[in-house]
Chains A and B, each alone.
Chain A
Amino acid sequence: MRASRLLLGAVILALLAAPWLATNYQRSLLLAILADVALAVAWAFFSGPSRYLSLATGAFFGAGAYATAVLGGRVVWPLPVLAGAAVGAAMAVAVGLLALRLRGPYFAVFTFGLAELAKHALIWYETSVSGTVGRLLLAPPGASALYYTVLTLTTLAVAVALVLRRSRWGYALIGIGEDEERALTLGIDTTRVKIVAFALSASFMGAVGAAMAPRWTYVDPQVFSPLVSFQTVIMALMGGATSVAGPVLGAVFLGLASEIFLLRFRYVYTLALGLTLMVVVLLVPSGLAALWPRRSGARPS
């Protein structure tokens, strides 16, 4: 216990000091991994216990990135991130009201369609109404500001996930995942719980999208990428979506692997990624975090 606390403290200190210690490349790698962690944790605290498999991460992320693209240069820095969070949450409420009564694969399909619909509608709007294919990002904030923004978001996501799982809302989500009708008869306002938790999760995704946008000089509708949705799900489920450590582990593992191998051995890497995913699903059904010796409080699935 003491050793793991020391380790955790060391990791936090290292993360805080990274902008001074790391090279540019290392810092940008760290930034990408932190963003992945935030997305995977935010995805898992809703979809893990409730078992509503959302493939809308890319849509919320993309909407956040567009918030920065539209507002960037006009307002001071952290504001686009807040706007991204607000847009993500608003979208999630709208989607939730429509779609959260769909169960199982229907919900997954709907959320996947949503991201694609948003992307193609935006492409159509940009080309035929505003006459552009993308937007230049004006006056992006400095590298350290970006880093600390993302670090804050990641820390917040982990904190929310930790608090949520021990709260009445967290137990309500687990109840919904196990048997939604029973949860309803037990007096849980399932619609409200689902929509609020989904919106909370989406607000993180929007905020991360807004915070990561300045990494590119140019934002176009391709940021509504289904790849973001898939990667997030894979990271969370690979690590184990019912714990908090699981998505963190999965995101760090996959984030590192993709940064190191993706550019050099693109096809072989993605092929190996697919194989790894299949092996994990077949052999370690509850995720990599289950291999950890003492899995405290993890719900058996």
Chain B
Amino acid sequence: MEAHLTPSLLLDIVGTGLITGGIYALVALGLNLQYGLMRVLNVAHGEFLMLGAYVSYSLHTGWGANPLLTLLVTGPVAFGAGLVLHRLLYARVLAHPEARASLESRSLLLSFGLLFVLQNLALLVWSADLKGYSFLATPLRVLGAVFPANRVLAAAVALGLSLSFYVFLRRSLTGKAIRALMDEPEGAQLVGVDLMRLHGICFGLGVAMAAVTGSLISMLFELSPFIGLPYTVTALVVVILGGLGNVLGSLLGALLLGVVETAGVYFVSSDVRLISSYAVLSLILILKPSGLFAR
């Protein structure tokens, strides 16, 4: 149990933590987009990650597609699916004027329904057996610490996508409209922001981010139809940590959680990973519900 903190060990922990955190960032960003903007807690978020992972697995093992290129399939398909789901499910719930008060509980239930449907669909199609493939499993040496190349690649792609989304939010007109809706829903609608259209886009983007993260994860870990929920929980922790609707907060929160978890696993045991993330979640909720990085 006792370990001396040498510089290379520190690098190892921080590096591994940042790699894990980079992957968390992209899932969490997707959830934050849906939760922060629509106040819709989508517990089926991780299921889209799971489906994205399986689609990439099937494309790679069935047609020999390069796993990285499968992102170009899972991303757009998931975005389209998200738009359709939003139109079919959430737009109806939001449109019900008398049901606005119960919006949160009803949309939560809808996503529970979705979770059951998607998970069992995956069980019927891909069965409960673990599935996986090996891709770029070569070691990569950085300053005396060793990281698997596929993880570095996955984290780099995830972080790159997260950052480009951040830039999109700050620079593009759509991005500005989304931020306006998050900060001041009524005011934004007064100046002509189309709520329904943007909700659809955000839901679609959220689903796409989960699916793309899934594609990346399929290169690293074995898949089962049950991998979704833990990622949903982690994403929730990150969103709460960083603050609702706070994109930069989610990014920092994800990296922080990644490092804390890795350190916990290294110094105590792998059992503490979940305990620590739930404990962090509870503490933040009690002490600072607006998130660590609230303005």
Contacts and interface: CB of A to CB of B under 8 A. Distances in A.
Interface string B254-295: 000000000000000101101100110110011001000000
B176 to A, nearest CB: 26
B120 interface: yes
B105 A237 contact: yes
Given A113-B278, A116-B233, A268-B124, A275 B271 contact: no
Contacts of B41: 105, 108-109
A123 B102 CA distance: 36
Contacts of B89: 278, 282
Contacts of A267: 120, 123-124
A281 B106 contact: yes
Most A Cβ at <10 Å: residue of B35, B93, B109, B123: B109
A117 interface: yes
Interface residues of B, number: 43
B275 A120 contact: yes
A222 to B, nearest CB: 14
A270 B120 contact: yes
Contacts of B102: 51, 285, 301
B103 to A, nearest CB: 10
B112 interface: yes
Contacts of B289: 102, 106
Nearest to A118: B278
A105 B110 CA distance: 14
Contacts of A301: 98-99, 101-102
A104 B104 contact: yes
B113 interface: yes
A110 interface: yes
A128 B272 CA distance: 12
Nearest to A116: B278
Contacts of A139: none
B240 interface: yes
Contacts of A9: none
B99 A285 contact: yes
B108 to A, nearest CB: 7
A76 interface: no
Contacts of A110: 281-282, 285-286
B121 interface: yes
A277 B271 CA distance: 34
Interface string B227-245: 0000001001000100000
B131 interface: no
B218 to A, nearest CB: 21
B39 interface: yes
Majority-rule SS of A interface residues? helix
A124 B285 contact: no
Contacts of A53: 104-105, 108
A113 B99 CA distance: 27
B282 to A, nearest CB: 6
Nearest to B240: A109
A11 interface: no
Specify which of A51, A278, A300, A301 lies most central, judged by the most chain B CB atoms within 10 Å of its CB: A278
B53 to A, nearest CB: 18
B285 A99 contact: yes
A271 B92 contact: no
B117 A278 contact: yes
Interface in B210-235: 233
Given A105-B104, A110-B285, A274-B114, 7 more contacts: A104-B104, A106-B240, A106-B285, A281-B93, A282-B110, A301-B98, A301-B102
29 contacts: A51-B102, A53-B108, A104-B39, A109-B41, A109-B236, A109-B281, A110-B281, A110-B282, A110-B285, A113-B278, A113-B282, A117-B278, A117-B279, A120-B271, A233-B112, A234-B112, A267-B124, A270-B116, A271-B116, A271-B117, A271-B121, A274-B114, A274-B120, A278-B89, A278-B114, A278-B117, A281-B109, A300-B98, A301-B101
